Structure 1
Amino acid sequence: MNRACKLLQNPPAGAPPPPLPSLLPPSLNPSNIVINLTSSRLHLVSSPSSIPSLIPPDLLPFLGPSELSSILLRSQSLPLPSLHLLSFFHSQRLLTPSPHHFALLAHSLTFSRLFSHCLSTLRHLILTHPASDPFSSLLTSASSGRCNFHSAVFSLLVTAYLHLGFLRQALDAFHRSINAGFPPDAITSNSLLNSLAKSGDFDSCWEVYTAMRKAGVTPNLCTFNIMINALCKADDAVRAREFLEEMEMNGFDPDVVTYNTLINGYCRKGRLEEALGLYKLMYRRGIEPDLVSYTTLMKALCKEDRVREAHQLFDRLRQRGLIPDEMCYGVLVSGYSRKGKMREAWIFIQAMIGCGYFPNSFICLDVVKGYASVGKLLPCLNILAQLRKIGATVAFDAYKLLVGALCHEKRPNAARNLVKWMVEDGCKPTVDIYNEIIHSFCDCVSLMDAFSLKDEMVETDIRPDENTYSILISCLCKTGEVMEAECVMEEMVACGHIPDSATCAALVNGYCNKREMSKAEGLLKYFVLEFGFHDNAIFNALINVYAEEGDMEKAFELKDRMMKLGFVPNTETCKFLVNGLFRNISTLNV
């Protein structure tokens, strides 16, 4: 017997505990000893770290899944120490608690009304055993009759799934709980309804609501508000209004949240008059509209260009003692800006700043659009300067829009200065913005400034693209500086960019205008051989120059040379040649 005990206490290395305990009397059975000892000492446990001092190390090998189940069942009146015990085994990897262990502990915690600890336990169950069926584990342990039971555990399981973002599993647990006769309470049902509404699963919302009512779960005001919100999100404002009537028939008085939800739903559907009707109904029912009510209606009115009415609502909310917030001011600033009424917009910006609110990036964008639409760009720059001083955020899109407007009005220097503001505000100008300003400089025949800006691009690690070079080449050719344009084209190719047909046409036409035909033809040949361009418009331009000068011999020789390079004469080519021949005949007749 002593030899047997020694074998039990010191089993061979790597070997599982021998099956001898079953041959021992209950009082000497190590499994019984570890169950009795742990159960009797568990009330002394205050944290997982205190477990090792209570269980002798030589008994730990005998604490298996069945022993742990027995301890949990015996210690149902000690749910927190049991929780520490499970946490210790799990953290030390001595024993992974099974779904059954988690279920027993969850029942014990729920019965003691330790709901937050139960919720945490159920989350651990779901994450530790992702392939398990927690609902079945809870139902089986509850049906055994051996553990304390509280039906709230099934509500907590639904909540645990929702906290983990497992919406489908939460929905499944909800329906299974109802079928098992343990319907989740209204709070849990509302959480599920809200999650389903946020996900856009409105059909499941109705299934849950219907199941609630059939199971005898009484909906509350929050339930109705969630359902009305879901209907409005589903663009079913008519059904939402019907649901409001059902809500009142059930003895629930709609609150401001209910009305705001409906007003928002009608506004989203473009049914503004009905939304305004609800606003008036609120007063008749003794419900005071809040800031959300007013802001929603003001936004919808501005969207329909009824800014004056939105302004009247703004005045009314202040008369009612409400304090406008940033969004409330922003709605009117944007509304007046979209109508081009910049004086009124600026008045509200000043009022907004006076109340300690700064216009956000969206409001600034609307203001810039408004000033650009009425052509008041310099006042816009002045206002932007003031907004930047107080720390308002000017969005990249606002800068881009204003740069484009300034360039369109041939104010490239102002646009260039605006780029400096962009950089100071942390917005990185794109190559398109630089190209727009370069193009504006070229339109103003300020080539030095255009090339200076190109150099600035390179210094700020913004690589000129094909469009940059094409703009510069086109401008140089228009001003007769074709050789300089050809140098820019060579730089363009060296930088890895392929000239397009517009660049080729600009250079060839430039040489044609200077009547340097050999250079024009040589350049066209270069584009054909290097880049495979066969643009008949460029080829025809060369033919037309010879035809206009009456040098038909050179025109036909050019045609032959170009055909060898792959050009195919078209009707335009024939027209130029025929016109040239007629011109020669007319000259001979004279």
Structure 2
Amino acid sequence: MYLKPPNSSLNKTTLKSLKISYFLHQSFNFYHILSRFSTSSLANISDSQPTSLSTSLYTFLPHTQNPNNIVNIICSNFKILKKRPNFSVLENDIKVLENDLKGVISHLGTQEITRVLLRCQSDSYTALCFFNWVRNDLCISPNVHNYCVLVHILVWSKNFSKAMALLLEVIELSRSVSGGSDVFKVLVLSTNECSWEPVVFEMLVKAYVKKGMVREGFSVFRRMVRFGLVPSVVTVNCLLTGLSKFNYVDRCWYLFEEMGRIGVRANCFTFNILTHVLCKGEDVNKVNKFLDEMEEKGFIPDVVTYNTLIDSYCKKRRLKEAIYLFNIMYRRGVLPDLVTYTALVNGYCKDMNMREAHKLFHRMIQEGLCPDVTSYNTLICGYCREGMMHEARTLLRDMIGNGVLPDNFCCWILVKGYEKQDRLLSALNLLVELQRFNVLIPKDIYNYLIVALCKDNRALAAKNLLDRMSTDGHETTEKIFNEIVNCLYQLEMQKVNP
């Protein structure tokens, strides 16, 4: 008896089933090979699109293991999390999400990040949570384009503080990318994908200024103008301040001219910044001419304007012009403030006219202004420079009595004032007095006085000061210790060989 061979139709069906099984088996093997050879570091995932062959094979995989579904899986999971009170994402939720994505997480690249972000345009908080999850939990580094898309989403949602923080980050990222990356260009290109507000480009200018990259900020301003975007006066003032800080005088005036051309109306802050720019130069006539032009445009100088001019005149030893402006302030109803008086006191001190400086200081107090540490330091420094240590010490006591503790600069100028008069013991008494008022003596002052005492052959005084220094919690250096040892040795040698 023998088995009857299968009929032809059954044989074809069986063969077809075997082929499908084999094909599916090969598909799964191919998928695992792809996963095995994917980069071990999720921070460096290729942005290249999958080939048509691999894409067709993905259709045979389960839903949660199909890389084509990664965006849908992420969005659906975050949609569930969003329904919770306060949208609280717990550590367990992160583990669940990562478990759902285990089969496809290696395929999460920058293009998929952008797609998820674009789906979250109407919910900036969800977009930000997803972005932070990607870079913090998955350790995937978003690219400049990802940052720019999220910045647009945040700005559109009026979340300006978070957007500014991300702009500062993306500026750093663009500098680290090989060959650099044009953040402005990427922001412009991103406008084709999502909703956006023109203010985002003004924020980019401010971000560059915050980073100290004022030339890049200036470049963004010029490109904005070419694109037909008109920045606000606040943004222009921010850029002007940055340019002034780095002494880009020509660009400041170019910016001022551009304001008039594109229709940005200057305000009092603009004129005060430009007054400060002019005061850095030596041409007083330019300053006066500019002030006349400002008044013709309806600008009335305020206390900041006068303070800028008075401080500039005092630093350049043009005390007469400063006093003249001080008197003009009263005539025009602009009351001087603490900055005004401090600048003039400094001017008198530099002119070695301590009597007028003292009178002006007390006039300031009579006007109801409370001197701060800078005001006191200015007059104390003037006294010390002129060798008037008794007056400086008296003012120090008044300063402490009024609740203003001396800072490191104040301590330094007093100690050097005494050292200049060879009154080291008076300097030591000063330190003792300051410590009674809980003033922390800087380590550098201790070292300075120890060396000075050793040079004056006061080894015991230097050793006592070293002990006091240790009590204050300062550690000595080998150099200072050797200074005291050498001084003690010299004293012993003098006793042996008088």
- Within the candidate set 92, 109, 128, 2:154 is matched to 109
Spell out the pairing of 1:267-346 with structure 2 (5 A cutoff): 267-346=314-393
- Is the CA contact 1:399–1:418 (under 8 Å) kept in the aligned structure 2? no
Q: Percent identity?
A: 33
TM-score by length of 1: 0.62
Structure 2 residue aligned with 1:139: 188
- Is the CA contact 1:302–1:332 (under 8 Å) kept in the aligned structure 2? yes
**Is the counterpart of residue 121 in structure 1 residue 154 in structure 2?**
no
Structure 1 range deviating more: 332-341 or 283-292: 332-341
Structure 1 residue aligned with 2:132: 87
Cα 1:33/1:346, change in 2 over 3 Å: closer
- Is the CA contact 1:235–1:265 (under 8 Å) kept in the aligned structure 2? no
Aligned-partner SS, 1:182: coil
Instruction: Give, as a single letter, the amino acid of the residue that structure 2 aligns with 1:80.
Output: Y
Cα 1:180/1:7, change in 2 over 3 Å: farther
> In 2, Cα distance between the equivalents of 1:120 and 1:431?
45
- Is the CA contact 1:8–1:20 (under 8 Å) kept in the aligned structure 2? no
Instruction: Give, as a single letter, the amino acid of the residue that structure 1 aligns with 2:189.
Output: T
Spell out the pairing of 1:38-49 with structure 2 (5 A cutoff): 38-39=74-75, 42-44=78-80, 45=82, 46=87, 47=89
**CA shift for structure 1 position 300:** 1.1
TM-score by length of 2: 0.72
**Is the counterpart of residue 201 in structure 1 residue 201 in structure 2?**
no
Cα 1:58/1:375, change in 2 over 3 Å: closer
Structure 2 residue aligned with 1:71: 116
Structure 1 residue aligned with 2:466: 423
Instruction: Give, as a single letter, the amino acid of the residue that structure 2 aligns with 1:274.
Output: E
Instruction: Give, as a single letter, the amino acid of the residue that structure 2 aligns with 1:125.
Output: V
Let me know the Cα RMSD of the aligned residues: 4.4
**CA shift for structure 1 position 310:** 1.1
> In 2, Cα distance between the equivalents of 1:365 and 1:320?
30
**Is the counterpart of residue 12 in structure 1 residue 15 in structure 2?**
no
Instruction: Give, as a single letter, the amino acid of the residue that structure 1 aligns with 2:400.
Output: I
Aligned-partner SS, 1:113: coil
> In 2, Cα distance between the equivalents of 1:300 and 1:428?
40
Instruction: Give, as a single letter, the amino acid of the residue that structure 1 aligns with 2:127.
Output: S
- Is the CA contact 1:190–1:223 (under 8 Å) kept in the aligned structure 2? yes
Cα 1:307/1:113, change in 2 over 3 Å: same
> In 2, Cα distance between the equivalents of 1:6 and 1:242?
86
Structure 1 residue aligned with 2:5: none
Structure 1 residue aligned with 2:13: none
> In 1, Cα distance between the equivalents of 2:478 and 2:124?
66
Once the two structures are superposed, residues 161-194 of structure 1 have per-residue CA deviations (whole angstroms, 9 ceiling, x without a partner) of 3344434333322322222222443333333332
Larger radius of gyration: 1
- Within the candidate set 168, 184, 208, 1:161 is matched to 208
Aligned-partner SS, 2:243: helix
> In 2, Cα distance between the equivalents of 1:250 and 1:35?
58
Which structure 2 segments of 5+ residues have no match?
A: 1-19, 39-49
Instruction: Give, as a single letter, the amino acid of the residue that structure 2 aligns with 1:136.
Output: K
Cα 1:319/1:126, change in 2 over 3 Å: closer
**CA shift for structure 1 position 99:** 2.7
- Is the CA contact 1:247–1:253 (under 8 Å) kept in the aligned structure 2? yes
> In 1, Cα distance between the equivalents of 2:383 and 2:247?
34
Aligned-partner SS, 2:371: coil
> In 2, Cα distance between the equivalents of 1:37 and 1:321?
68
Which structure 1 segments of 5+ residues have no match?
A: 434-456, 486-590
Greater RCO between the two (CA within 8 Å, min separation 6)?
Answer: 2
Spell out the pairing of 1:236-275 with structure 2 (5 A cutoff): 238-275=285-322
> In 2, Cα distance between the equivalents of 1:135 and 1:289?
44
Instruction: Give, as a single letter, the amino acid of the residue that structure 1 aligns with 2:183.
Output: P
- Is the CA contact 1:82–1:105 (under 8 Å) kept in the aligned structure 2? yes
Cα 1:222/1:33, change in 2 over 3 Å: same
**Is the counterpart of residue 192 in structure 1 residue 212 in structure 2?**
no
> In 2, Cα distance between the equivalents of 1:94 and 1:178?
38
- Is the CA contact 1:369–1:401 (under 8 Å) kept in the aligned structure 2? no
> In 1, Cα distance between the equivalents of 2:287 and 2:198?
33
- Is the CA contact 2:27–2:60 (under 8 Å) kept in the aligned structure 1? no
**CA shift for structure 1 position 9:** 6.1
